[in-house]
Chains A and B, each alone.
Chain A
């Protein structure tokens, strides 16, 4: 459980993990030899050789790696998608004998950019066309005046995004444009990938990596030898989730609450799944059978209408239950259904320039509503699903420490429930959780969140969370209690009503009593006394808050991306301006510095 962070010259978590694994069973003699080996390697690297290829045979002396061009896969990631994609591409490159240097924009030294020769960029977009939060510093640099000319660089951009948002893949578009402006050569046209288009992203990636590999690209001595990999246990991921039993499913919000928030406990003991505080749990969703039946009926199709999906036969009902998003519609669906129905209004809305109008329309119209408005007589099952997007897993921050809860995982889930066109609608997973009680099982996997981690035990932490955003802090405090951590902890929590919505109230009281939590400030926006939110409490505590930051506190923000995150950011800037006597620009730089020091982490959704 020992956690050493920030040791050595900017080792990434992956590099550090590898190193630690390597070091775990070395003899003294081996350790000395390896020390010399790395020294030799460092000399080669200074001379321009690429990163060491994993899996090559152990040489007798420092490797002589022939290299002409360096190859870097640079990613900007917030929830880990782009990071995962970048690592997958690096493996693909390795198979082609191409040693890729995988770098996170978060840790990227701006001075390294001018030396990049072959650069493959993978970047996601969030909110209103924003780059991933950890990549903001990199964007500031590359889009600023200090960015170097890149005449000798070849690049390609893989942009990840969500087409239901107005500024689709905007971060990727910005980098693609900017790299060209700086004089770099576009080796392949940018690809924009929706949340369900991982397959086309991978296909593009494979082709592009090959483009980089041909020509005068860095090649390691030999491709990875077969059989070098250790046999690993079956990987549990979103394509291969583990079915785990629910052992508790209760409503946390008290009587009279304006919302419903649930506490779910899952038993992971038979799965071998493990997690650390900060990680998320992915739930592979299944659509509500009633919603599926309603859509099938609205389509005028038979429930068992046959369909071929991923080259396998499946019934329409099964496909709509487990494979497709049937609640929120996408621009692709508008175009596809508009074509089928001859509905010019839908086709019009699907056009790129109608983004704002489309967003509003999609908010008010689900797939079923659109089908009902524009019926298509004699539509086939294949046509009906053609424009639908694949059902995506839902991610929830884990609200427990595995050590403290004997391997169980707790979740804090707000039930999404609203009325649309006269009928009640429920969130796909939260609706299911509110239906199934505590005897069912759920298909899950662990989604690591390396950007959201506890610091060393003696470091102070400041945690800001609204609503279910408080979940990871329950994990943090359980973990710190278990480890007997000495660092101070301060929690800011916001919800609607004190009486009914003070999630985990008695647990925080216990942590305050035993000192695991040093301070707690709460804001309830719908109690008498006015709309008070966490950002107000941050401002009220400006003096103390700034003192904690100056003492080296790590700062965490978790919760709603639209409502809370920007307001909290604004409050933090005000605190730094007011207490630190800094200009707004200097305060922004202060926050950015916290970020690059891994002391300011956000998990917003």
Chain B
């Protein structure tokens, strides 16, 4: 018997409408996928949609923008300088050398090449 087929919809302890709006958002998000993938390939903006911003938080990724240049960029008719911060869960505060090297690799692959 596979656990893949277990339907978790009935696991909710209370009906959605008696909970906060974020619970409905999560329930409707296709397992926290939302439209994140689409948001990320949108070349017109460096941000993701407000809904996706929220969904990403549940996955430990936070959309921010560089506040030091926010006003300057507004006057330049440029959107805020968006960037993402990723939090890593380290149970017990322990990071193995292999984990550290992986974080290093991911950072090199995805971080902005230049920090303003």
Q: Which residues of A are at the interface with B, using a C-beta cutoff of 8 A?
A: 250-256, 263, 498-500, 502-509, 512, 520-522, 528
Contacts and interface: CB of A to CB of B under 8 A. Distances in A.
A503 B75 CA distance: 12
Given A255-B69, A256-B116, A520 B77 contact: no
14 contacts: A250-B75, A254-B76, A254-B78, A256-B114, A498-B43, A498-B46, A499-B46, A499-B81, A502-B79, A506-B74, A508-B44, A509-B44, A509-B45, A521-B43
B72 interface: yes
Given A256-B116, A528-B113, A522 B44 contact: yes
Given A498-B46, A521-B43, A522-B44, A254 B75 contact: no
Interface residues of B, number: 17
Contact of A502 (B74, B78, B116): B78
Given A255-B72, A255-B116, A522 B77 contact: no
Please indicate which of the listed interface residues A253, A502, A504 has the most CB atoms of chain B within 10 Å of its own CB. A502
Contacts, number: 47
Interface string B50-91: 000000000000000000010011111111010000000000
Contact of B78 (A505, A512, A528): A505
A150 B83 CA distance: 69
Given A255-B69, A498-B46, A499-B46, A505 B79 contact: yes
A400 B109 CA distance: 41
A427 B42 CA distance: 36
A521 B77 CA distance: 18
B77 A507 contact: yes
Please indicate which of the listed interface residues A505, A508, A512 has the most CB atoms of chain B within 10 Å of its own CB. A505
B46 A252 contact: no
A216 B75 CA distance: 66
A143 B107 CA distance: 61
Please indicate which of the listed interface residues B45, B74, B76, B116 has the most CB atoms of chain A within 10 Å of its own CB. B76
Nearest to B80: A506
Contact of B73 (A254, A507, A509, A520): A254
A506 B44 contact: no
A254 B81 contact: yes
A507 B45 CA distance: 12
B81 A252 contact: no
A504 B44 CA distance: 11
B71 to A, nearest CB: 12
Please indicate which of the listed interface residues B43, B45, B72 has the most CB atoms of chain A within 10 Å of its own CB. B43
A443 to B, nearest CB: 27
A506 B78 CA distance: 6
A520 B44 CA distance: 8
